[in-house]
Amino acid sequence: MTLKDLISSSFFMLQTHRLRSFLTILGIVIGVTTIIAILSLIQGLNITVEKQIQSLGSNTIFVQKYSWGAGRMDIEEIAKRKDLTLEDAWAIGKLITVAKVAPYKYYNIPTLSYQGKTVKQIEIIGSTPDIQYTANYTVEVGRFINDADYHHKQTVCCIGGYIVDNLFYNENPIGKYLTINGKRFFIIGVLARKGTFFGQTQDNIIIIPLSTFEKTFPKPTGYQAVFQGLSIQVLPKEAQYLEKTIDQIRELMRRRRGLSFDEPDDFGINTQETLREIYQNITRVAFIVMLGVAAI
């Protein structure tokens, strides 16, 4: 059969079995379109997640009582670990590869009110001025907390865009006061918006000096100390020093906590890569199943 005869026979079969041909072509179009749509969705989701992870602070290392992970945490074991201290933070800050270090604590308050308006689930972060760099915060209006605020335990704060939208709509919040846990805090700055992180807004925050935080909020105990105790953010001088900095921090912390060579770490060192691995482990199976169904 010549090529001409083959083409002629093919068109004849298409015309003879129009319904079957239409359904076959429709199935192919739907399958290919579905695969393209799913791949585009996956790529867009990956880009969105990467941007959200980057918003936590580029190349920032988080030293905490626990390690991040998708599995089950042994909260009882972690609660028995030594708390991190400010002395740990200052010691880490002296490492040759470290550019900035910011010890911090956080506390969640259920409601915050201002002149009859109320917002819920606000996160109060107490830290040093260097958290502006380690956590990638930018001031949109006003200024960030400074060394004088920290050393003199000033009751000043920077607020996120979510609070501005709900409590100070069409009003400049700079120079106003918020009552937090019975104390009046003077608003000195508005933070640039970070958007959402895995569906949760990052702009429902108030940043105050860590020294002020410690005299305003009670010291966490028991299981609360696992997540609300002191943590440390560390920013290496260069991205290429990330792994070297992690090794130096681990060696320093093990030495400060008196761990022998055969004892496991009783602290966690977490990075953006940890979050990426958790995300990839959670979504890998789902993506494979989605592509398999589309291919079928």
Q: Is 4 inside a domain boundary?
A: no
Q: Which has the closest alpha carbon to 136: 56, 63, 68, 64?
A: 56
Please check whether residues 33 and 66 belong to one and the same domain: no
Please check whether residues 40 and 83 belong to one and the same domain: no
**Given this model, what pLDDT does residue 247 score?**
93
- Band (pLDDT 50/70/90 cuts) for residue 124 is very high
Domain assignment of residue 272, given as a range: 61-277
pTM (two decimals): 0.76
Residue identified by tokens 């880009």 is: 47
The Cα–Cα gap between 62 and 268 comes to 8
Please check whether residues 130 and 152 belong to one and the same domain: yes
- Band (pLDDT 50/70/90 cuts) for residue 62 is very high
Q: Is 155 inside a domain boundary?
A: yes
Please check whether residues 217 and 114 belong to one and the same domain: yes
Please check whether residues 139 and 214 belong to one and the same domain: yes
Please check whether residues 49 and 113 belong to one and the same domain: no
Residues 6 or more apart whose CB falls under 8 angstroms from that of 66 comprise 73, 78, 226, 227, 268
Number of domains in the chain: 2
User: How large is the average pLDDT for residues 170-184?
Assistant: 92
Please check whether residues 286 and 270 belong to one and the same domain: no
Q: Which amino acid is at 249?
A: I
> In this predicted model, what pLDDT tens digit does every residue of 220-269 receive, in sequence order?
777 777 788 899 999 999 888 888 999 999 999 999 999 998 899 989 99
Please check whether residues 103 and 26 belong to one and the same domain: no
Residue length of the chain: 296
Q: Is 221 inside a domain boundary?
A: yes
The Cα–Cα gap between 91 and 238 comes to 19
> In this predicted model, what pLDDT tens digit does every residue of 209-220 receive, in sequence order?
999 999 999 887
